[in-house]
């Protein structure tokens, strides 16, 4: 990659990758996770209508990946030269492969939004007959390939979630980062944050009943997702604990100091503990279930952000 484009300065003084990259990793995970769960439910239930959940997931997916690119590009040493990444590919580089995947994924999320909000866009363009005509012509063509777009969206959503893990796992000097567990953990945690985000947006903006069939399905699968996420985190810790002498020293990130606080309070307490408490303490009471729904969702997203922050900062701190 061009030497002038690197993650050395920008917002991240002191470490190569700082909080802007952690936020980008969160937003990319939410984007991919939301689209995956919504489209998989559509495929599984053989839905033909455009449900509030699918609308919410498509909007969340496009908005978060677009916003995430602001943080990613902003963390470059020379942000105005980001376009060079788009025309100079090195397929032996994980970053180049990721940029190519993003270049395909973002248009896919945009097309999904066009499918789901065609009526709303047409209403906005109603007073501009010529532009509306062009829009309708484009939509006629796009509708013919919608099944293909939906399948490709799921495939590239998985790629985007996994790529964020592969991107930082290539840093061989950092045992917490340089592990094959990381891509899987990022996919699963992305599903967790994406599920929570899509659920909240579907309920708040598209008036989906929190006890509807689709949201009940999401509520059912979020616990297995959480269990797998905890298992992968445990595997990461154990792999360090049974590794060589240096790898064992990196487990200190989990045991004491600011990073341990971030992990146990932010990831385990807020991300996992709070949703469980809210579900069992308030979820059964109708008067409080709505509050518990939103608090639990926000806690899940915040927990995934804390996980990204922990991995980025502790990972780079505990290195050779």
User: Which among 255, 250, 225, 266 is positioned nearest to 315, based on CA atoms?
Assistant: 250
The answer to whether position 3 is within a domain reads: no
The answer to whether position 1 is within a domain reads: no
Cβ 198 vs Cβ 218: under 8 Å? yes
What's residue 13's pLDDT? 42
The answer to whether position 198 is within a domain reads: yes
- On the 0-12 / 13-18 / 19+ scale of CB atoms within 10 A, 32 is buried
pLDDT, mean over the chain: 86
What's residue 290's pLDDT? 79
Count of domains in the chain? 1
Per DSSP, the residues of 261-280 read: HIIIIIIIIIIIIHHHHHHH
What's residue 288's pLDDT? 54
pLDDT at 4 over 60: no
CATH of the domain at 85: 1.20.1630.10
What's residue 109's pLDDT? 97
The contacts found for 94-101 with CB under 8 angstroms, 24 or more apart, are 94/163, 94/166, 94/167, 94/170, 95/1, 95/167, 96/1, 97/163, 98/163, 98/164, 98/166, 98/167, 101/156, 101/159, 101/160, 101/163
For 179-227, write each residue's pLDDT tens digit: 889 999 999 999 999 999 999 999 999 999 888 889 989 888 988 999 9
User: Which among 273, 292, 271 is positioned nearest to 282, based on CA atoms?
Assistant: 292
Q: At 318, is the pLDDT very low, low, confident or very high (cuts 50, 70, 90)?
A: confident
Look at 77 and 31; give whichever has higher pLDDT: 31
What's residue 285's pLDDT? 54
Residues in the chain: 320
What's residue 6's pLDDT? 38
The answer to whether position 9 is within a domain reads: no
What's residue 7's pLDDT? 35
Report percent pLDDT > 90 for the chain: 52
What's residue 44's pLDDT? 92
- On the 0-12 / 13-18 / 19+ scale of CB atoms within 10 A, 84 is middle
d(CA 309, CA 45): 36
pLDDT at 10 over 70: no
The answer to whether position 201 is within a domain reads: yes
For 260-301, write each residue's pLDDT tens digit: 999 999 999 999 999 988 887 765 554 457 788 899 999 999
The answer to whether position 154 is within a domain reads: yes
The answer to whether position 8 is within a domain reads: no
What's residue 315's pLDDT? 86
Mean pLDDT of 83-98: 70
What's residue 120's pLDDT? 93
The segment with the largest mean pLDDT, out of 44-48, 154-158, 244-248, 284-288, is 154-158
Cβ 253 vs Cβ 263: under 8 Å? yes
Residue 157: which residues within 8 A CB-CB, separation 6 or more?
Answer: 31, 32, 33, 35, 36, 39, 61, 105
CA atoms within 13 A on the CB side of 227: 5
What's residue 262's pLDDT? 95
Domain hosting residue 179, numbered range? 19-317
d(CA 220, CA 13): 42
pLDDT at 237 over 80: yes
The answer to whether position 4 is within a domain reads: no
pLDDT at 78 over 80: no
Q: At 141, is the pLDDT very low, low, confident or very high (cuts 50, 70, 90)?
A: very high
């Amino acid at each position: 990659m061009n030497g002038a484009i690197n993650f050395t300065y920008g917002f991240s003084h002191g470490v190569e990758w700082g909080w802007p990259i952690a936020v980008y990793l969160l937003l990319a995970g939410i984007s991919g996770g939301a689209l995956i769960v919504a489209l998989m439910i559509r495929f599984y239930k053989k839905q033909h209508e455009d449900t509030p959940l699918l609308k919410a997931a498509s909007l969340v997916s496009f908005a978060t990946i677009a916003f995430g690119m602001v943080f990613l590009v902003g963390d470059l040493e020379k942000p105005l030269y980001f376009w060079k990444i788009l025309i100079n590919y090195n397929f032996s580089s994980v970053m180049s492969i990721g940029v190519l995947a993003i270049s395909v994924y973002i248009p896919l999320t945009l097309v999904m939004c066009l499918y789901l909000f065609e009526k709303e866009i047409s209403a906005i363009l109603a007073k501009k007959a010529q532009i509306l005509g062009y829009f309708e012509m484009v939509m006629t063509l796009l509708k013919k390939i919608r099944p293909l777009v939906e399948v490709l969206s799921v495939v590239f959503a998985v790629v985007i979630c996994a790529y964020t893990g592969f991107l930082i796992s290539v840093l061989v000097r950092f045992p917490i980062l340089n592990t094959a567990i990381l891509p899987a953990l990022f996919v699963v945690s992305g599903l967790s944050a994406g599920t929570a985000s899509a659920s909240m947006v579907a309920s708040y903006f598209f008036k989906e009943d929190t006890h509807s069939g689709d949201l009940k399905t999401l509520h059912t699968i979020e616990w297995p997702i959480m269990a797998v996420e905890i298992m992968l985190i445990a595997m990461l810790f154990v792999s360090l604990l049974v590794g060589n002498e240096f790898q064992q020293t990196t487990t200190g990130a989990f045991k004491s100091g600011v990073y341990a606080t971030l992990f146990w309070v932010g990831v385990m307490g807020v991300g996992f503990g709070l949703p469980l408490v809210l579900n069992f303490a308030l979820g059964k009471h109708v008067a409080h279930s709505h509050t518990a729904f939103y608090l639990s969702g926000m806690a899940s997203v915040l927990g995934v952000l804390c996980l990204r922050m922990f991995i980025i900062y502790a990972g780079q701190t505990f290195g050779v």
